[in-house]
Amino acid sequence: MEWANQLCENRQFGSKMTDSKYFTTTKKGEIFELKAELNSDKKEKKKEAVKKVIASMTVGKDVSALFPDVVNCMQTDNLELKKLVYLYLMNYAKSQPDMAIMAVNTFVKDCEDPNPLIRALAVRTMGCIRVDKITEYLCEPLRKCLKDEDPYVRKTAAVCVAKLHDINAQLVEDQGFLDTLKDLISDSNPMVVANAVAALSEIAESHPNSNLLDLNPQSINKLLTALNECTEWGQIFILDCLANYTPRDDRESQSICERVTPRLSHANSAVVLSAVKVLMKFMEMLPKDLDYYGTLLKKLAPPLVTLLSAEPELQYVALRNINLIVQKRPEILKHEMKVFFVKYNDPIYVKLEKLDIMIRLASQANIAQVLAELKEYATEVDVDFVRKAVRAIGRCAIKVEQSAERCVSTLLDLIQTKVNYVVQEAIVVIKDIFRKYPNKYESVIATLCENLDSLDEPEARAAMIWIVGEYAERIDNADELLESFLEGFHDESTQVQLQLLTAIVKLFLKKPTETQELVQQVLSLATQDSDNPDLRDRGYIYWRLLSTDPVAAKEVVLAEKPLISEETDLIEPTLLEELICHIGTLASVYHKPPSAFVEGSRGVMHKRLPARTGSGEGTESPDVGNVAGGSAPEAAPSIIPSQGDLLGDLLNLDLAPPTTTGPPPPTSGMQMGGMDLLGGGLDSLLGGDIGGSPAMGAGFGAAPAVMPASLNAPVGGGLGDLFDLGGGVGMPMGAYIPPKTVWLPAMKAKGLEISGTFARRAGVIQMELVLTNKAMSVMTDFAIQFNRNSFGLAPAGPLQVLTPLGPNQTIEVSLPLSTVGPVMKMDPLNNLQVAVKNNIDVFYFSCQYPISMLFVEDGKMERQVFLATWKDIPNDNESQFQIQDCHLNSDAASNKLQGSNIFTIAKRTVEGQDMLYMAIKLSNGIWVLAELKMQAGNPNYTISLKCRAPEVSQCVFQCYEAVLKN
Amino acid sequence: MIGGLFIYNHKGEVLISRVYRDDIGRNAVDAFRVNVIHARQQVRSPVTNIARTSFFHVKRSNIWLAAVTKQNVNAAMVFEFLYKMCDVMAAYFGKVSEENIKNNFVLIYELLDEILDFGYPQNSETGALKTFITQQGIKGQFQTKEEQSQITSQVTGQIGWRREGIKYRRNELFLDVLESVNLLMSPQGQVLSAHVSGRVVMKSYLSGMPECKFGMNDKIVIDKAGKGGVTDEVGKSDLGGGGSTSGKQSIAIDDCTFNQCVRLSKFDSERSISFIPPDGEYELMRYRTTKDIILPFRVIPLVREVGRTKLEVKVVIKSNFKPSLLAQKIEVRIPTPLNTSGVQVICMKGKAKYKASENAIVWKIKRMAGMKESQISAEIELLPTNDKKKWARPPISMNFEVPFAPSGLKVRYLKVFESKLNYSDHDVVKWVRYIGRSGIYETRC
């Protein structure tokens, strides 16, 4: 090992001429020169040349042409040179696999070196060279190194298994490396354990179903022991691995928590956050009345606050995570508002995140302080920050009712500053305040109207227009104000156009006499001169509404709006649960599930919080995991619905009666309406009952007639389409309810006969029971209980049989059900075991509920999300069924299905065959995607179902059949 | 895990590029340059996602460090690693600058090979690394078999931060309690937020593998001891010095974090701080307190706008600690509007100057005793502007240094036990020092 000597010499030499010279700019013919130098006889010159090559490689020049020359330098005793050549090899071996093989011998030899540092170096580098031929030679040395006497070599070899797996997974399995790796979890050296855990976790990620890590109480115990002894990084690997474990019961959960809490005092923020993740997850399983639960909650706050004194980048990561934690368990940080106050020197990304958390923590107790801060922030320099501060004031008003008045006056103060973007932002939030507290603050409208001219952002303009339309009756010159917007109608953004259309229609309905001209103008602008189908369609709806039945129009357009909820920007609960399982990771920074930004098979696995279980029923909990395993939704990556969405919602609400969520969006006007609709649809519009009221009739008779002929086809289509959905808009078809069947015959239950069915009404699952007393004595004291079942159905209240049931008397009871009960997989899946008690005895029966009861109302999906999810689910999970003898056209079918919360996402027609793409969401968050194929004239439909939990497919199919045939 | 690590200069030229994973291509290097380094705006997030590739970046003076990944990595870990990387480089060749990086690029590649394997951070304690990766190249030849196995066991071992067989003629310990006191005060003198973040920094020159135990006036410990009637340790506050013995007996610590040498489970169960110290200088613990903080200075601002082109500013500072103590390096920074054309300052003590380039009046006082008061007044003339944007009125900030711990923390003892070598706790020379500095100490005006 003479190289060390040389090395020292070289360094001395190097101190005179520093390494930075290698970065100097290059001339033409450089490669040629380097080649010559690499082949030089002088060792020094060689090394200099390799350094130059590495420097060129670093700055991104292609030096792969020098491959043979560089590899030739490898046969040296000089370790520094060797390492440089290795570095080169790692980069370029792939491009020259045949040449790379030259290096194998050296590697194999080095793996036998007496010096453990060299053995480790060889196995580490070899794993980085991603050439099949080299990998073959890697197996034997790797096997030896995994059992090396030196822990340094073992810990390096452990990571090497992960490298090899990345190149050739099959090879790793065949060679039995996985088992060796598993053995290393019991290694005596903590760092070897940590690296083995890291490697196994990574490999397990690409085999979602394999039980590679095989976490059980024994192995968990080993990990917890290693946790106390290994490096900070090792602690992170182990904690992240622990977080994937589901304890058997609350006792185990508590004991793990107890052993993890000391990590909260670690100086490394990542260790702290990973510990927080484990605690947040396992806490789910602890009963809330447990003393320890409270202790744990208290222990979590201080370390989270401490994270805020870390470097700004870490603060940012911490804040994004705190944002999640605050949503999940607001009690942890509710007294810590002050630490989230913005500091003048905070980087902007820290400021924005702090602001977000301040709003989440705002409550009656601290609102005065918060408002004072927010007002301060609204005078800062950064535009985004100021906007967010203004918006935050509005959100405080909505969240804490007592503060609303103060917030409104603060906003008015800010409007007085006349700073353009402050004014606009204030108007946008004031609109929300109006929605939340109707008839309370309308006195400020006058002030708002003064600023009409300065609004140049679509969102602010739209908000202002909404306000004018909504309160048209209180604003004297509402028509003038709206008219002023109308001039540049076509230059406005769609958002503003839609809002303007609605506002003018509202105005017209409130003051019909003065504004006829205006409404005609806007309707013709929207329907005739616009290319935007949304705008056109909405225009036609209003037009038709106004012309057929002005009274109905009034009821629809001026319907009372539901109040907006307090927190508009909460993360959807299932997503939040998943993100809590990813605390500390990128997913928690992006607030998106890993599948949204990780390619390939990694990260597809969805994590969920464990269900709370008592210690007695421990064994079932893994089952919960399985059923729910692949179920968290892909959808809703949008973190905070922008104000734009909110506005969109408002608009939708204007259209639909308050109780429904509105019709599914028509896929496209062109496609859906066939030519046949044209005749009927449009004619009826033109010739039909125009004369609704004399005042309007006169105006409306003529207008549509001047529609350009070329527009007819699409327009007719669009309208026809609307008509079809007409039924859906006003009165959605009810969900399918199976006929009542006898569940418990009288002879089996001492005279009590129970028949019944299940229904879903307004989002609530009802069990409708008919109890008949066929005995001779009076029955009283009814009670009901369910056994654990697949979807956690449980009575949401007691069985309401208030009067005693006399002989031959029948009573109908409806029992609301919840889906938060204990879960156990049943066979068949939709089986429900019920116990009914009365004064005579306890009776048991079982019944099956249609799974459609569990389809929730928010099962709609974005088309892109649908597409992505469809692709994402492996084909193995697809099942196909036939529905025979069904005579519905696709639209009718779609309507019917929608009644049962099966939502059509898209429709496609290929060669006379209609394909409907549909999405269903189950109450436990499982998504089912369906493709329904139907051919005109053929009564047999084909349906394909795709779901991450394929067990449900059969049940879902049964529902389709039942719904479509009834 | 981390897929690659790049180091750039401020122009976006790559100085170091090490790719660990196949999914990171060369174009990632350019993507970061174009989208982040060359972006016109300031950094809006330290994590940037470009074409499904995530970049974690930190900037040290003119140098950008970026860790790249396509997976759902532990984000906190990546940043901790980047900081650690900076520390390691600084320990090897001083300041992290373009010049130093270029001069040491071979060494950096060697380090990266060692401390990041396939994107997984490995032992990154400089103490351990320096035993086998040295600036003079890798040691190897002179190592005997024992030395080699000692290195590997230290790198992978339980006590990765200290090697065996350290010997000193004189066993010495230096203990610094360094606190930074942070304040945000309203113009009316209301404390909006205040906290102390403190660090206990130690320099230990001890032989062998000593076992240390550190004690301070932590409220929880003292209360527990008081209840149990155990007073042996409380009585012997041999290190309690620092001059000011009056004041609170104990302080409430909101939270503390420890160097990895401290046995966390022991702290959790007994709240005692015991450890085998690294050799040389290290940070033993960090802590944070928010209750009963001694605010060394109070700033009373008075800003009056006289018409559109003139501002009158008067600022009074009051020192609030024992008269026998002296604060040093006092600096008050009073921001001025961007359209300032001229400033006249009068101050009773120290020197004050208007610094146009920093948009501030900087008032410096070398020393100030406790319970004193000083005042500055200034007239600021403004250019008339039609700029609608209001002046943001940044807060008045202050810097200072005081010879006590604003949190009230006192070191009660630091005991050293080394059973194998024949020196006892009494033979160790111990030095304790308290320094309180201003963190972000701001008063709004």
Q: Which tens digit of pLDDT belongs to each residue from B31-78?
A: 999 999 998 888 889 999 998 899 999 999 899 999 999 999 999 999
pLDDT score recorded for residue A464: 92
Q: Does B142 touch chain A (CB under 8 A)?
A: yes
pLDDT for position A23: 67
Contacts for A219 with CB less than 8 Å, ≥ 6 apart: A185, A213
User: Which of A438-452, A479-493, A724-738, A938-952 is predicted with the least confidence, judged by mean pLDDT?
Assistant: A724-738
- pLDDT for the residue numbered B422: 78
A594 touches B: beta carbon within 8 Å = yes
User: In this complex, is the C-beta atom of A1 within 8 Å of any C-beta atom belonging to chain B?
Assistant: yes
Residue A445 near residue A474, CB atoms below 8 Å = yes
Min mean pLDDT across A118-132, A849-863, B2-16, B293-307 is at A849-863
User: What local confidence, expressed as pLDDT, does residue A498 receive?
Assistant: 92
CB contact under 8 A, A23 and B444: no
Task: Pick from A231, A356, A381, A388 the residue to mutate for testing the B interface (most B CBs within 10 Å).
Answer: A231
The pTM assigned to this predicted structure is 0.69
Q: What is the pLDDT of residue A733?
A: 53
- Chain A residues with CB under 8 Å of B82 CB are 313
Residue range A233-278, pLDDT digits in tens: 999 999 999 998 989 888 999 999 999 999 999 999 999 999 999 9
Kindly determine whether residue A585 and residue B44, on different chains, have CB atoms separated by under 8 Å. no
Q: pLDDT at position B239, please?
A: 45
Interchain CB distance below 8 Å, A265 and B77: no
CB B412 within 8 A of CB B366: no
Residues in chain A within 8 Å Cβ distance of B102? 18-20, 22-23
- Closest CA of chain A from B193, distance in Å: 6
Region for A765 from its dihedrals, namely left if φ exceeds 0, alpha if ψ lies in -120 to 50, beta otherwise: beta
Contact A60 B14 (CB under 8 A): yes
Task: Judge: A84–B145 Cβ closer than 8 Å, yes or no.
Answer: no
pLDDT in tens, A500-528: 999 999 999 988 888 888 899 999 889 88
Asked if pLDDT for residue A166 goes beyond 50, the answer is: yes
CB A814 within 8 A of CB A783: no
Q: What is the mean pLDDT of chain A?
A: 79
Mean pLDDT of A152-178: 92
pLDDT of residue B234: 38
If you average pLDDT over residues A402-418, what whole number do you get?
Answer: 89
Q: Once rounded to an integer, what is the mean pLDDT over residues B217-228?
A: 78
Q: Contact A597/B72, CB-based, under 8 Å?
A: yes
A273 close to B (CB below 8 A): yes
- What is the percent of chain A where pLDDT is above 70? 83
B257 strand-pairing partners? B286
pLDDT at A275: 96
Q: Check if B401 contacts A (Cβ < 8 Å).
A: no
| pLDDT band with cut points at 50, 70 and 90 for residue A632 | very low
Q: Cα separations (Å) of B282 from A42, B161, B201, B215, B260?
A: 45, 10, 6, 17, 11
Q: How far is A381 from chain B (nearest CA, A)?
A: 6
Inspect the interface and report whether the beta carbons of B75 and A376 lie closer than 8 Å: no
CATH of domain B4-130: 3.30.450.60
CATH number for the domain running over B297-402 = 2.60.40.1170
Share of chain B above pLDDT 70, in %: 91
Task: Enumerate the known binding-site residues of B.
Answer: 351, 353, 355, 364, 366
Among chain A residues, CA nearest to B125: A231
Confidence check: pLDDT of A188 > 60: yes
Residue-level pLDDT at A479:
87
Closest CA to B103 of A134, A11, A537, A384: A11
Of B73, B156, B440, which has the smallest distance from its Cβ to A192's Cβ? B156
| A419 pLDDT higher than 70 | yes
Q: Which of A933, A830, A945 is nearest to A879 (CA)?
A: A945
B22: which chain A residues are within 8 Å (Cβ-Cβ)? 130, 166
**Of A171-175, A249-253, A295-299, B305-309, minimum mean pLDDT range:** B305-309
Contact at CB, B22 and A166, closer than 8 angstroms: yes
Which of A54, A302, A313 minimises the CB distance to B79?
Answer: A313
Any A CB within 8 A of B136 CB = yes
Q: In this predicted model, what pLDDT tens digit does every residue of B118-149 receive, in sequence order? A: 999 998 888 788 877 765 554 445 567 777 77
> When comparing pLDDT for A627 and B38, which is higher?
B38
In eight-state DSSP terms, residue B34 is I
Q: Does B112 touch chain A (CB under 8 A)?
A: no
Q: Which residue from A4, A19, A195 is facing B139, i.e. has the nearest CB?
A: A4
Q: What is the pLDDT of residue A868?
A: 79
**Contacts for A910 with CB less than 8 Å, ≥ 6 apart:** none
Domain spans, chain B: 4-130, 172-225+250-293+405-443, 297-402
Asked if A265's CB is within 8 angstroms of B268's CB, the reply is: yes
Question: Residue B193: its chain A contacts at CB < 8 A?
Answer: 338-339, 341
Are B157 and A236 within 8 A, CB to CB?
no
Smallest CA–CA distance, residue B252 to chain A, in Å, is: 12
Return the CATH class of domain B172-225+250-293+405-443.
mainly beta
Per-residue pLDDT tens digits for A787-812 = 888 888 888 888 888 778 888 888 88
Question: Is the pLDDT confidence value at B260 over 70?
Answer: yes
Check residue A709 and give its pLDDT: 39
> Nearest-5° angle of CA A36, CA A41, CA A44?
90
Residues of B in contact with A379 (CB under 8 A): 390, 392-393
Interacting residues of B104 by C-beta distance below 8 A, sequence separation 6+: A19, B89, B92, B93, B135
| Averaged pLDDT of chain B | 86
pLDDT bucket at A583, cuts 50 / 70 / 90: very high
* Mean pLDDT to the nearest integer, A404-413: 91
Q: Which of A636-650, A670-684, B8-22 has the highest mean predicted lDDT (pLDDT)?
A: B8-22
Count of positions (residues) in chain A:
966
Report strand pairing: A842-848 vs A831-837. antiparallel
Selecting from A5, A116, A313 the residue whose C-beta is nearest the C-beta of B141 gives A5
Q: Beta strand A794-795 with A810-818: parallel, antiparallel or unpaired?
A: antiparallel
Inspect the interface and report whether the beta carbons of B118 and A159 lie closer than 8 Å: yes
pLDDT score of A340: 93
CB atoms within 10 A of CB B346: 11
CB-side neighbour CA atoms (13 Å) of A27: 4
Residue A268 CA from chain centroid, whole number:
29
Lowest mean pLDDT among A296-300, A870-874, B368-372, B379-383: A870-874
Exposed e or buried b per residue across B22-34, where buried means at least 16 C-beta atoms within 10 angstroms of its C-beta: ebbeeebbebbbe
pLDDT given at position B248? 58
Q: Is A597 on the interface with B (CB under 8 A)?
A: yes
Do residues B76 and A273 make contact, with C-beta atoms less than 8 angstroms apart? Answer: yes
Lowest mean pLDDT among A389-398, A421-430, B184-193, B221-230: B221-230
What is the number of other CB atoms lying within 10 angstroms of the CB of residue A768? 16
H-only helix segments in B48-144: 75-93, 98-103, 105-115, 126-129
Do the Cβ atoms of A267 and B283 come within 8 Å?
A: yes
Of A484-488, A682-686, A903-907, the least confident: A682-686
The whole-number pLDDT of residue A9 equals 38
Distance between CA atoms of A409 and A399, rounded to whole angstroms?
16
Asked whether this chain's domains B4-130 and B172-225+250-293+405-443 adopt the same fold, the reply is no
Nearest CB among B17, B83, B192 relative to A341 is that of B192
Give contacts of A 411-470 with B, CB under 8 A.
Answer: 417-420
Pick the residue with more confidence: B331 or B139? B331
Percent of chain A with pLDDT over 90: 25
Least CB-CB distance to A189: which of B20, B149, B156?
B156
**Taking residues A336-346, what's their average pLDDT?**
89
Strands, E, within A333-482: which ranges? none
Q: Check pLDDT > 70 for residue B14.
A: yes
Instruction: Give the number of beta-carbon pairs within 8 Å between A and B.
Output: 313
Return the structure tokens found at B201. 């920094």
Q: B 163-202 residues with CB below 8 A of A?
A: 184, 186, 192-193, 195, 197
Inter-residue contact B233 to B424 (CB < 8 Å): no
- Closest CB to A417: pick one of B75, B140, B390: B390
Contact A585 B73 (CB under 8 A): yes
* Chain B CB contacts of A341 below 8 Å: 184, 192-193
**Of A445, A419, A417, which Cα lies nearest the Cα of A430?**
A445
pLDDT of A675 over the 80 cut: no
Chain B nearest C-alpha distance from A868 (Å): 15
Is A592 exposed, middle or buried, given 0-12, 13-18 or 19+ CB atoms closer than 10 A?
buried
Measure the CA–CA gap between B85 and A311, rounded to whole angstroms.
14
Strands A752-761 and A764-773: antiparallel
The CA distances from residue A510 to A486, A539, A552, A701, B125, in Å, are 19, 18, 14, 21, 75
Q: A355-370, pLDDT tens digit by residue? A: 999 999 999 999 988 9
Cα gap B57→B43, rounded to integer Å:
10
Measured distance CA(A281)–CA(A243) in Å, rounded? 7
- A696 pLDDT above the threshold of 60: no
Instruction: Say whether pLDDT at A306 is over 50.
Output: yes
Residue A903 has pLDDT above 60, yes or no: yes
Decide if B147 touches A, using CB distance below 8 A.
no
Residues β-bridged to residue B352 = B363
* A603 interface with B at CB cutoff 8 Å: yes
CB A951 within 8 A of CB A924: no
Q: Say whether pLDDT at A15 is over 70.
A: no
Q: Using CB atoms, which residue from B103, B137, B260 is nearest to A232?
A: B260
B87 in contact with A at a CB cutoff of 8 Å? no
